[in-house]
Amino acid sequence: MDPEAHSHPQQYEPLRARARMRPLPRWGTAALALVLGPLAFLVRGSRQELWDGGDHLLIIEDNGYAERYRRVRYQEVEVLQHWPTSDYLQAAVLLALGAVGYLALAGWLYQTTDGDSLAIGPAAIFGVSLVLALASHLVRGPTTRVRLRTRVQVIELPVLGRRRLADRVLPRLRARISSAQEDLAGAATAPPQAPTGTT
């Protein structure tokens, strides 16, 4: 480990991974949007971000007023698990059904009441917001889950909830972890070395 890296204020490199944490699963938010319309998208958690601290991964949870930090030393990472999830499709189907339903309702009300119904506006707003949510969901692409285990705990990384983002960030994490554990890979087979006297 480079002692110089610690005698100065820690320098962090952005991993350009940033996403809202979800109090509900994706299909749950989509289902809520069928009832609450655009208001459903106000139900959201803190923002999670990943930064590279050289010898550790910095996980930031930003609630708007404060940042909470967790650090995972690359040397401590034992395993990275990731897998695609099906809530991409579930949420897309729910949002599409809702969008079609509300827009059809708005159109039907417009035709049957000659545009006099007070419900036309809200139905159209619900329909359009669901269309926008669906478009944003589809553009961001398929969903994944990522978690890792260290010596002491299993940590979920909901920030890497989209495959495209995970595909970009995971190789960088793997490279960092592997190079941080190069010594360890050798130590597993090589006999113990004498201390190098670097204190």
Partner 1 sequence: MAFDPRRLTCPRCQADWPEGEAHRCAACGFTLHADWFPAAFRPRTVPAPTGAAESPGSTTDPVCYLHPQRRASVPCDQCGRLVCGLCEVQAGPRHLCPPCFDAAQTRADGELPSSRTLYGRIALGLSVVPLFPPTALAALVVLAVGRGKPGSLVRPSRFPARVALVLALLQLTAFSVLVALAASGAFD
Site for partner 1, rule CB under 8 A: 1, 3, 6-7, 10, 12, 14, 49, 51, 58, 60, 62, 64-71, 73, 75-83, 145, 149-154, 174, 177-178, 181, 183-185, 187-188, 192-199
Nearer to partner 1, 121 or 171 (CB): 171
Which residues have CB under 8 Å from 62's CB, separation 6+?
46, 47, 48, 49, 68
Cα gap 49→37, rounded to integer Å = 28
Shortest Cβ distance from residue 163 to partner 1 (Å)? 11
Cα gap 57→69, rounded to integer Å = 10
Shortest Cβ distance from residue 7 to partner 1 (Å)? 8
Would you call 144 helix, strand, or coil by DSSP?
strand
Ramachandran sector of residue 37 (left: φ over 0; alpha: ψ -120 to 50; beta: rest) = left
Shortest Cβ distance from residue 117 to partner 1 (Å)? 37
Residue 39 and residue 32 in contact, taking contact as beta carbons nearer than 8 Å: no
**The amino acid at 141:** G
56-62 sheet: strands from edge to edge: 13-20, 47-52, 56-62
Shortest Cβ distance from residue 140 to partner 1 (Å)? 20
Cα gap 31→87, rounded to integer Å = 12
Output the six-digit token pair for 171: 């190789």
Shortest Cβ distance from residue 196 to partner 1 (Å)? 6
Nearer to partner 1, 118 or 152 (CB): 152
Shortest Cβ distance from residue 43 to partner 1 (Å)? 20
Nearer to partner 1, 81 or 113 (CB): 81
Cα gap 64→187, rounded to integer Å = 44
